[in-house]
Every structure is written in C-alpha cells, then in structure tokens.
Amino acid sequence: MLSPRQIIAPIFVTLLAPILFAQSIAVGPITVDATSPYLDPAPSSFQPGSARSPDGHTIGLNQRYLTLDGNPWLPVMGEFHFSRLPADEWEDQILKMQAAGVNIIATYVIWIHHEEIEGKFNWTGDRDLRRFAQLCAKHHMYLYVRVGPWAHGEARNGGFPDWLIAKGPTRVNDPTYLNYVTGFYRAIGEQLHDLLWKDGGPVIGIQLENEYANRTANGGEAHILKLKQLAIASGLDVPLYSVTGWDNATIPSGAVLPVFGGYPDAPWDASPGTLPASEVYTFRFGSRVAGNMGMIGGSATAHTTSTDTPFITAEMGAGIEDTYHRRPVISANDVAAMFPVMLGSGVDLYGTYMFQGGENPDGEFSTLQESQATGYPTDVPIKSYDFQAPLGEFGEERESLRKLKLVNYFLNDFGDQLAPMIPHPPSKLPKTPADLSVPRLSVRSSGERGFVFVNNYVRGAVMPSRPSFQLKISLPNSTLLLPDQPVDLPTGLYFVWPFNLQLGNAHLRYSTAQLFTRLANPTGSTFVFFCLSGIRCELSFVDQPGMTIYGTHGRILRANGIITATDLPPALDTTLSLRFEGRSPAQILILSQQHAEDAWKVRLKGEEHLLITQQQFFASDSQVTLQSDEDPAFQFTVIPASHAWPFPASRTRVQQQSNGTTTVSAHLPVAHPTLALTPIKQAGTAAPVKIGPPPSWRPQGVPQAPAEDTFAATAAAWKLSLSNASLSNLGNLYLRVDYTGDIARLSNDHHLLVDNFFNGDPWKIGLKRFVNRNQTGDLLLQILPLRGDSPIFLEDRIRKTIPATGQTEQLRSVQLIPQYKLTLPTTHD
C-alpha cells in the first residue's frame, strides 16, 4: 500500500473540510479537440525478461500499451495476499476474482511471514506460495509477484523480520543486507520454479522493493538495479519488472516499469477531520501521480510525466485500511468512480489494492501488523486486513465488486481497442480537485473512433447536476455531437460512452448506454449495454444500404443517413437486431445497470451466456456456485435461454420463459445455528488517548492504539457459545456484531482470532475458518469503550452519534447469519 511519507505537510490536508455542495450548472456543448493524427507508439526503452511461453505466446509492450501475442492488451489486476488468507479458501476466492473480470492477481511475498526465525523458511499451509501459484495456473489467472524485500502492506517493519533489522543497514547495497536478500529471493525462486511465464506458468511480473525514494550513495537506482540482478540470478526471469512510481520514486530507466495508483481517502494523514476532495476523481493530464500519491515537494518527476512506458497502475484503492486514528468508510461509488477517471487519463493496466481482503497470520514472537510501537507512523488492527475490499476478509462479496465488474468486463472484451487510444482533455478543466463547477471528462481516441469517460462524482461532495449535457468532439475527419440532442446529467453519475465503434457489421455512432460486454458464440455476437439512471437511453447508428433494424421496445428514428434507437427501457427483453443484406446481423441487448451488476458471464455447453442473480456467484470449468446470506432460496436467470441448463438436481426447478430466458430456482434446507450471549464484565474507565511522536514527514503526532493490558483492565466482555454450528450446505456462518466502542476483539482461549476498529459499520465475522480449526468453543467478545473526546476521525454521520463527553461502549445486537451455498454442474452427459 501507499507509504505514509507521501504527504509532506501541505497545509490543506490538516484543515477540516466541509461537505462540498454545488447547485445544478447548465453548460453548452463541451468541446474536445481530438483532431491530432493518430501516431503508432514507438518502442519503449524497457527491456523485458523472457517474454515467450513454451506454446509461443508472448508478452511485450511499447511506449503506450502492453501487448499479448503482439496485440494491444489492457488487463485488470487485483491484489490478493495469499499469506493473509487460509489456504483452504484460496481457490474459491481466485474464482470469485476471475468471475468479476480480474485477469492478473498481484501478491506480496511478506518476508516476516516466511522467515520470522532466521534461516528457517516457512512455505507451508497458509504460507505456501507455490500452491497459490499453482491454483492461479489451474484457473488461467496470471500472477504478478511483489517480492520486496521491503513490502510495506501495513506489515510489521514493512515486512522485514525483526532479526534482519538488527543486522545493520537495510534497503541499500550493504553486503550483509544483500546476502540476506539473496537468500530470500533464492527461496522465492525455488517456490516458483517451473511456474514462470517462460516455463508455461502464470508468473508474468515481479515488483522490486516498494515506495523507494532513497538516493544515498549506497541506494538510489544502483540499489534497484542490484535487486533486479539478484532476482534474475535467483531464477525470477519474467517479462515484466516494476517499481512503484510515486513518493519521488527511484526508477532506473529501461530496467523497470513505474506503476502508479491513488486512494479515495488517506488514513495515514494526521487530520482528525474530513479531508478535501481527493484528486482520484479528477482526470490526470500531464502527470501520472498527484495528490495522495505523494509528489514530494509538490512537483512531478521525469518518470511521472514520461511517455516512454505505458501508464500502469498497481494500487488504485478498491477500499482502504482503517488506521487507529483515521477510520473512513469507503462506499462502492467511492471506489468505482475512480475507474473511468483513470482509464480516461490513459491507464493501460488497471490494478486495484486490495481486491481480496485478509488478516495477518499469527507470529512466533510478536504480532505482525504495522504499529507506532515499532516505529511506523500508524496503528492498524493486529489481525484484520479487510481493507473494505470488494472481497472482504472472510471472502464475502461487497457491492463494490459488482460495480468494478461493469468496467472489468468491458476491458476484457474491448480493452484491445481502448489500449492504443490517446487521451484528449476538454477545453476547460477544473482548477483544483475541489472545483466542482467544471464537468470532468476525457476522450480517448484513435482516428475517428473512441470512448468518452465522464465523472460527476466526488467522495464527500455533492456534485452539481448538469442540464443540457452534450459533447462536441472534433475528430481528424469529422465533428461529432454526442448525443444528437442534449441530456441532463444527474449528480453522482460516472460512465463510459463509445463512439464510432464497429459492432460486427454495424457502425455505432454513439451510445448513451454504457458498453458492458460481448457474448461471442458460433451463431454470432451479442453486444450488451446497460442504461444509465436518469439519462435517455439511446444508440445511434450509421444507416447502410440494405440495413434493417428491429427493436422489442423504444422508438426507432431514421433520417439523414442515421438510425437512432431511443427511449430504450432497460429490461431483459429489450433487444435490437440489426440486419444487413448478405452479411451477419448484429444483436444488441439493453440491460438496466442493476441487471448488469447482477450479471455474470458463464459458458454452458460451449456457448456464452449471462447468468443474472442477486446472490453471490463464482464458477469453475464444470460448475457454478451461488451463495446467499440468510435466505436459503436461490433464483437466477440465464440469457439467452439455455436448454442445456442445468443437470437435474433435487430442489431445483428450471423454466423456459417466453422472453427468451431461462429461470432456475432452488431451495436449500434451513439451518438453525444458535448463539448464547453471557455478560462477563462491564467496561472500566478508558484512559485519555495518547498521542504518538510525529514522524519527520508529518507535522503532528496521531492517536496511538491502546496498550495490550488495556483490554483486560477496561474492555467490556461477553461469552459467546455456539450450538448447531454445522457448515453442512453452508458456505460460511457469519457473526454480525452491531456495537459502538473503540476496538472490538473476538478471542478463543486467550488467542486473538480477529479484531476491529469501530468505524460505524456493523462488524461481520466469518466463522468458517474458526470452525474448521476447532476454535469455536466458548468465545470471548471484548469491546473497549470509546471516549467522546478521542481525537480519532470518524465519518460525520457516526461522530454525531457519539457523546461529546464521557465514554460509550454499547453492544446493540449479536446475530448469527448462515450463508447458504448452492453448487450446480454446467456440464453433463
């Protein structure tokens, strides 16, 4: 994750910022000049490692984009720290990421997790890197390994074992340090032997170091080059090598690729109040880092503006880790609105951190989290690394996953067209990230075709609605008004519009619906769009000789060489069929955004379909799995209809619908787990919060997490007893704790299982891993009281519920929630 050194005391981040608000702002057509002739990208100075797999596939790049087999490639990457999740849960979570459209899994190899005792490496169980890589290979997922050796990732010592720090200087070309790094890299190389891309394996990339800005005599570029040399010597020969590009990074040209990112909030910041609007909601023209990505000194470097390598991201925040002193709650829109902004800024690999949350493993000698007690600038939970990620700490799917999937699927099917396209700014840009008056958009184009990226959402602000919204895009050979008639742009909306796109034999002039995915089958392709809430839904085509168009709903207008299908209602049976004399037709499906969020691509009997369900979903080559919290009833729709679905199963009903879909329903037996709650101890009086020492880069210290002995003396406590906690027919069994306090913990026999910094949301704990480990005997729930004068940041809506004086610790409810699991085969004899 980001280094806390990324903000060097700019005054504005320490001020309380009011919730921003703006009235509706009417504008005329917004002009974008995209007339510059398209130029093919030049070769990059970056020199890849072994780029060819044994079966002849190649990974490469030029100055503008990555390539796969020589073709433009715009993949989606998601972070998943294997050593922070039980190994028996890895496979399902990999499949969930794949179902959500992720192509590449990125993972840290956190040194202290594997060699906490000097000379004794542990690659077993939950620390088995080789098995994790093999599972990625099994499910056709690429793997990008972040080997450090310093990782950060909110780990103890940034991932360094305690014994290593005692040996002398680190993160420089010191002989003793490099000797230990050599051993660590060699062990990683042994784990990944024959699993690299050149061997036919999934590992395509290595990240060296992390957030490295050292420029001392023994550091700097020479140190990064030395790490690369050691990695290659250890057998880690891969196509791509990278370093993080923010924080005034040290980046030797030609040897490594700089990668970038951004977060919706800054929990490392010292402010106890709401932060100003983040730059991640403002398009980046001219620099690849900004705002909370930490341009030290406030100026860009050559690497942050360079066009010699593709604009690649590794840490676009798919959530955020709450720290003790700052506890923002990140919404799905906070995360998803960043996606079109970064794509419109020219990003050609979108990497999210974290995509899969986790928890710190137990240490032999210490806890393994970042803390002020160990000299780091923030305190994070001892166990929880949930990160408010799309897939949570216990594998649960969150709303943000479905919103990110909308663009992931688009990139999976159309990223090769977007990747070569060049960004063009509008004629007027916001003056600052807090300037809400100017529409935020970008055009990426290649010649006459391209995509429009629009963002009318900012976390912590109410963006103005924009009546009569319309673009005037000047292209090399034409000018396009998009749409033909203006639309009213609601507040909070963000989207991608295509223009001059070829859909089979149809020429799409533009669409005010967002392009979602494509179902490619032997009989032809179906292009899937979804309508945007509050915007007239229409698709406009170039009329062609012999062309006819049929629509199930809406109006078809034909004039002046243009055919426009407008007022399209989003529904499962809203379709357009475009037919051409002597050529293949084009089929188009128009969904609502909710249906698109609920839609998953599946292959049944060799053909692609959409499976639409409100339940959680993932699939393998031979089966689909649905999970439902609390409700044992399952239902989903398959579109287009599939008469091969599914293999008959008990309690499963299949119906073919007149609108060309198939519906499947099932009902599992009801589980009846029970929970007994017994008060043990009332809370004591909480001591005033202590302020830690300020690091050199931050103007002030921040509240410190309470010492360990505080819990025994001060926390309220309850005994929890489970019965009938069988996991038969269940994917998980959740404990939902609705409380107010400072910190909550769940323990077993004086062993901390999981913890939580209160941020206002109920705490949801997956008990499956503890049941499997026989750790669910009598459980101890502790809640440390929260003082009203505690200078920690809570969202305003939560802070208002906390008394200004005294202390509060309230356990409102504790509830067991069974998660039902339905698995159905997709193939049968």
CATH number of the domain bearing residue 127: 3.20.20.80
Q: How far apart are CA 603 and CA 618, in angstroms?
A: 12
Give the model's pLDDT for residue 18.
39
Residues 326 and 396 reside in one and the same domain:
yes
b/e code 797-820 from CB counts within 10 Å (16+ = b): ebbeebeeeebbbebeebebbbbb
User: Which pair of tokens denotes residue 658?
Assistant: 């007149």
CATH number of the domain bearing residue 678: 2.60.120
Residue 420 domain-assigned (yes or no): no
Residue 219 domain-assigned (yes or no): yes
Q: Where are the alpha helices (DSSP H) in 192-243?
A: 220-233
Inform me whether the pLDDT recorded for 351 exceeds 60: yes
* Average pLDDT rounded to a whole number, residues 439-467: 98
Inform me whether the pLDDT recorded for 724 exceeds 90: no
**Stretch among 615-629, 636-650, 767-781 having the lowest mean pLDDT:** 636-650
Give the model's pLDDT for residue 696.
86
DSSP-based three-state secondary structure for 252 = coil
| Confidence bin at 657 (pLDDT 50/70/90) | very high
CA angle 96, 99, 101 (to 5 degrees): 115
Inform me whether the pLDDT recorded for 310 exceeds 70: yes
* Average pLDDT rounded to a whole number, residues 744-753: 95
For residue 491, report the phi and psi dihedrals to the nearest 5 degrees. Answer: -65, 145
Residues 620 and 707 reside in one and the same domain:
no
Residues 619 and 704 reside in one and the same domain:
no
DSSP-based three-state secondary structure for 371 = coil
Distances (CA, A) of 264 to 18, 328, 592: 16, 9, 27
Residues 299 and 386 reside in one and the same domain:
yes
Q: How far apart are CA 279 and CA 281, in angstroms?
A: 5
Give the model's pLDDT for residue 829.
42
Inform me whether the pLDDT recorded for 651 exceeds 50: yes
- Give the DSSP letter string of 582-632: TEEEEEEEEE-HHHHHTEEEEEETTEEEEEE-SSEEEE-SSEEEEEEES--
Give the model's pLDDT for residue 643.
81
Residue 501 domain-assigned (yes or no): no
| Confidence bin at 11 (pLDDT 50/70/90) | very low
Q: Using one digit for the tens of pLDDT, what is the confidence trace for 253-300?
A: 999 999 999 999 999 999 999 999 999 999 999 889 865 554 332 344
Give the model's pLDDT for residue 298.
33
Q: Using one digit for the tens of pLDDT, what is the confidence trace for 517-568?
A: 999 988 889 999 999 999 999 999 999 999 999 999 999 999 999 999 999 9
| Confidence bin at 647 (pLDDT 50/70/90) | low
Residue 800 domain-assigned (yes or no): yes
Residue 814 domain-assigned (yes or no): yes
Residues 275 and 349 reside in one and the same domain:
yes
Give the model's pLDDT for residue 483.
98
Give the model's pLDDT for residue 247.
86
Inform me whether the pLDDT recorded for 16 exceeds 50: no
Query: Do the beta carbons of residue 727 and residue 89 sit within 8 Å?
Result: no
Distances (CA, A) of 348 to 171, 207, 238, 263, 475: 30, 17, 19, 18, 22
Residues 749 and 628 reside in one and the same domain:
no
Give the model's pLDDT for residue 27.
63
Q: Using one digit for the tens of pLDDT, what is the confidence trace for 678-715?
A: 999 999 999 999 999 998 888 899 999 999 999 999 99
Residues 761 and 636 reside in one and the same domain:
no
Instruction: Find, among 167, 79, 187, the residue nearest to 124 by Cα.
Output: 187
| Confidence bin at 26 (pLDDT 50/70/90) | low
If one counts every other C-beta atom within 10 angstroms of the C-beta of residue 17, the result is: 16
Inform me whether the pLDDT recorded for 577 exceeds 50: yes
Torsion angle, CA of 646/652/658/660, rounded to 10 degrees? -30
Q: Using one digit for the tens of pLDDT, what is the confidence trace for 399-421?
A: 999 999 999 999 999 999 999 99
Residues 718 and 753 reside in one and the same domain:
yes
Residue 636 domain-assigned (yes or no): yes
Inform me whether the pLDDT recorded for 9 exceeds 70: no
Give the model's pLDDT for residue 623.
93
Give the model's pLDDT for residue 434.
95
Query: Do the beta carbons of residue 610 and residue 596 sit within 8 Å?
Result: no
User: Which pair of tokens denotes residue 301?
Assistant: 């470097």
**Stretch among 20-29, 368-377, 504-513, 573-582 having the lowest mean pLDDT:** 20-29
* Average pLDDT rounded to a whole number, residues 626-648: 88
Residues 747 and 663 reside in one and the same domain:
no
Write down which residue in 615, 643, 670 finishes a domain.
Answer: 670
Inform me whether the pLDDT recorded for 495 exceeds 50: yes
Residues 632 and 778 reside in one and the same domain:
no
Give the model's pLDDT for residue 182.
98
Residue 662 is part of which domain span?
602-670
Q: How far apart are CA 579 and CA 669, in angstroms?
A: 49
Residues 641 and 754 reside in one and the same domain:
no
Residues 147 and 278 reside in one and the same domain:
yes
Residue 813 domain-assigned (yes or no): yes
In angstroms, how far is CA 748 from the centroid of its own chain?
32
Strand ranges for 357-439 from DSSP E: 358-359, 384-385, 422-424
Q: Using one digit for the tens of pLDDT, what is the confidence trace for 367-386?
A: 999 999 999 999 999 999 99
- At a CB cut-off of 8 Å and minimum separation 6, what does 96 contact? 391, 395, 397, 401, 616, 618
Give me the number of domains the chain comprises: 3
Enclosing H/E stretch for 92: helix 90-99
Query: Do the beta carbons of residue 406 and residue 529 sit within 8 Å?
Result: no
| Confidence bin at 17 (pLDDT 50/70/90) | very low
Q: Mean pLDDT, the chain, as a whole number? A: 93
Residue 548 domain-assigned (yes or no): no
Strand ranges for 165-232 from DSSP E: 203-208
Give the model's pLDDT for residue 14.
28
Write down which residue in 411, 434, 458 finishes a domain.
Answer: 411
Write down which residue in 653, 670, 687 finishes a domain.
Answer: 670
